[in-house]
Structure formats: structure tokens, C-alpha cells
Amino acid sequence: MAPPFSKNEYNIRATKVRTVMKEQGLDALIIGNPDNINWLTGYDAWSFYTPQMMLIDLNDNGIYWFGREMDAGAAKFTTYLSDKQVIGYPEEFVQRPDVHPSSFIANWIKKSGYVGCKIGLETDSYFTSPRSLTNLQLNLKTVKWRKADQLVNWVRVVKSEAELAIMRQAAKIADIAMQTAYEGTSVGVRQCDLMANIVASQIRGTKDFGGD
């Protein structure tokens, strides 16, 4: 499964985020929102059931994904990230009362030279637990933390031509799905059968492009 956009598209997005980071005086940014991680890298998996983060700094190759080791494989075939940019934490950190993945991530950040840096942090993400944030900050006391809850979200507001093209395709598929629902609704039709046809139309898409 390849990323839905070109590598250049993701590079442009990262450049836009770095521009805002510079304006706000940030050396790095830690992201916990799966939507923002996906937007910046293409990473697409339901692995946010365990702690998952991403770090972006001001260097061109400075994007790193952090997640459960068993989920790291998905990052290697849904993104353009290199093996060095995909950091998986071992199973011994998963759902344990005495250790936490954020401690592992914090140690990596510390060893990678971010000590003393100004790092933005998404503190209002539904997918980043208080324990994750607390462990991260306690293990990186020399970092100068800054709230950056909507930084990436605001950059995402302005759509690129590539994004608009995908949105137009999605709109056409949505039209087909709604038409399927409208034409298939009648007395005696089972809801499950109708839904099966609707979902099938969403996945089938059009002759030119499929759905998801």
C-alpha cells in the first residue's frame, strides 16, 4: 500500500509546518494526533490504541515516527520514511504499570540531541493520554515546552491542488453512494442489504478511480 500522495507533496507540507515552527521559535514539534501524522507522512493504520507520536524538527530529513514495534511495519509501507525514521518501542513498554512508551520516546529524544531545545507539543489531542504527556515531560525536564495544539491543523486549512483533486474524487464517490441509498430504499428492503450495496459503491468508486 503506497502513500496516497507523492513524496514531493509530503515534503511541501513539512516545509509549511517548519515555516510556522520557525515563526513561533520552535526547534521541534511533537505530534500525537493521528490525522496530523497521516497528513505529514501518509502513515495509515489503526495503531493509536497504544501511544503513538511523531517528531518533526527544522532539518529536511527530521521527521520521526514513534509507535509500538509490531506496528512499525505499517509505517514502512504507508510512508516514505526511511528505517532510521521509524522508531518502534519494544513490547515490554506496552500496558505496564511501571514503565511507559513515553519514557522510551523521551530517552530517544534525549540521546538525539534535543535537550534544551524549544519543543512544541499537542496537549489537546484525544489520542495522547495525560500519562503520555506527563512521562514525556518528566523525562525531558531541560526541554522548553510550548503548547502547539493547532499548529498543524491551521497549516492544513489551505488545500493543495493534489488535495483538491482527491477531494473532488471523494465527492463523486459520495454522490454515487447517496444515489445508491436513494434508489435502493423501499418497503421490504432489509437495512443490512441496503447498507451492503452502499458500502460496495463506496469501495468500487468510479471507472477512473476506486474508493477506500
Indicate if the pLDDT at residue 1 is higher than 80: no
Q: Output the DSSP codes for 143-194.
A: SEEEE-TTHHHHHHTSPPHHHHHHHHHHHHHHHHHHHHHHHH--TT--HHHH
Q: pLDDT tens for residues 106-155?
A: 999 999 999 999 999 999 888 888 899 999 999 999 999 999 999 999 99
Q: pLDDT tens for residues 14-23?
A: 999 999 999 9
User: Stretch 156-160: mean pLDDT, rounded?
Assistant: 96
Run of H or E residues at 111? helix 101-111
